[in-house]
Amino acid sequence: MKQLTAPRTVHYHILRTCERLHLQPAQFTSLPYEQQLQLLAYNHLRLLEETTSP
């Protein structure tokens, strides 16, 4: 995998999560905080699994 030049912002992670889960960004922002964090955490773990799996 290519090395990223800089850590990504929260906004980037929101867009990546929306992309994966087929959500509109407006749908994401209208969710409660706890649910938003759950989706971001899920997406983050999926990314880690995808980059570390053989």
Partner 1 sequence: MKFNGQSLSCSFTQVFTLPRPTGDPLVLRLSPLPLGFHQQLRRRGIHPPSAPVKIARDSNGKILRDSSGHAITQSEYSNPDYLSDIELYHQRVAVLSIVESLRNDDQLTFETPVPSTDANWPHFADAIFAEMEAAGLSTGDLIRICNEVCRISNLIDSHLQESQANFSCTAPPNST
Q: Distance between CA atoms of 30 and 38, rounded to whole angstroms?
A: 14
Q: Is residue 7 involved in binding partner 1 (CB under 8 A)?
A: no
What's the min distance (Å) between Cβ of 46 and partner 1?
10
**Is 33 a binder of partner 1 (CB under 8 A)?**
yes
The answer to whether the beta carbons of residues 12 and 38 sit under 8 Å apart is no
Under rule CB under 8 A, residue 15 binds partner 1: no
Nearest to 39 by CA among 24, 11, 17, 19: 17
Interface positions with partner 1 (CB under 8 A) = 10, 14, 25-26, 28-34, 36-38, 40-42, 44-45
